[in-house]
Amino acid sequence: MNKKAIWAADLPVLIYATITLAVFAVIFSGVYVFVIQTESGETSGQIQQFKTYELLDYYLNTQVKVNNKETRLMELIPLYCLERKPDQLELIKKVSSILLLPETSRVLGCINNEIACKDIPNSFSSGKRHIYTEKNNILILSEYPKTNLKIIEIPGFKDSKACLEVEKDNYDITLFVDSSFSEKDFESKIKEKSAFQINQGKASFVISPSKDIWRYNNKLWCNAITETDSSLNCKKGITSQELINCKGDFELC
């Protein structure tokens, strides 16, 4: 047989084989892509879950200055649960709204020896939450219907502790408020934010080495706790240079 004859006889087989291989390739690639996407979804979900711990650490342990005292929510929350002063509650709400994104669901409940964290109903859809709110002074700082919740007990005093509920996902740790621990670092952050006119979102806040929280808004810097309205917009403020000169210490500014 000559070479041409061989090709002539096997041509239909070759065509069929090529078509079959192409079909196999398309289907297998489809299956592979589908499976990989499903698996990576699960993985990122788990990684997101790890970030809950970073969120809790950041939320509870970020040092801030309020009423001329250095503190953190880990101290403010149990103190409120013990003393139940309305101004303490306002402070917790304000610091929370500065530190966290508004859509981060967080629920805070004061508990005592008779009520444990696990007793607080965590079904948002049930009416129990409402009843509980009235009876036990649960503070809903920002509630979005979520089911994937992490509940922790914040240590407090003998008859008053607190439960904090945060959702396990839907936040971005890159959106945490900037903290500066040295004058040089603080100065460069102030210059950067004012140069780029960053006056929206968490990036417009910065915590100075003195632990005062500053907000950049309308080309001015103001104390985020005492000089902002309910939407955290500055009511009055100082220039970037003035803020750098007083090293971010509200008492000196």
- What are the residues binding other proteins (CB under 8 A)? 12, 16, 20, 23-24, 27-28, 31-32, 35-36, 38-39, 46, 49-50, 53, 56-57, 68-71, 74-76, 78-79, 82-83, 152-158
Nearer Cβ to other proteins, position 9 or 131?
9
Kindly state the smallest distance separating residue 102's Cβ from other proteins, in Å.
24
Q: Give the three-state DSSP class for 238.
A: strand
Nearer Cβ to other proteins, position 156 or 248?
156
Query: Residues 144, 105: contact at Cβ < 8 Å?
Result: yes
DSSP string for 120-186? S---TTSTHHHHHHHHH--EEEE----S-EEEEEEEEETTEEEEEEEESSS--GGGSPEE--SHHHH
Query: Residues 102, 142: contact at Cβ < 8 Å?
Result: yes
Kindly state the smallest distance separating residue 170's Cβ from other proteins, in Å.
18
Kindly state the smallest distance separating residue 51's Cβ from other proteins, in Å.
9
Type of residue found at 144: Y
Kindly state the smallest distance separating residue 114's Cβ from other proteins, in Å.
13
Kindly state the smallest distance separating residue 107's Cβ from other proteins, in Å.
18
C-alpha distances in angstroms, 163 versus 65, 118, 153, 242?
23, 9, 5, 41
Nearer Cβ to other proteins, position 98 or 163?
163
Kindly state the smallest distance separating residue 131's Cβ from other proteins, in Å.
25
* Residue 73 CB-density burial (10 A; 0-12 exposed, 13-18 middle, 19+ buried): buried
Nearer Cβ to other proteins, position 20 or 188?
20
Nearer Cβ to other proteins, position 22 or 131?
22
Nearer Cβ to other proteins, position 166 or 244?
166
Handedness of CA 163, 173, 75, 130 (dihedral sign): negative
* Residue 77 CB-density burial (10 A; 0-12 exposed, 13-18 middle, 19+ buried): buried
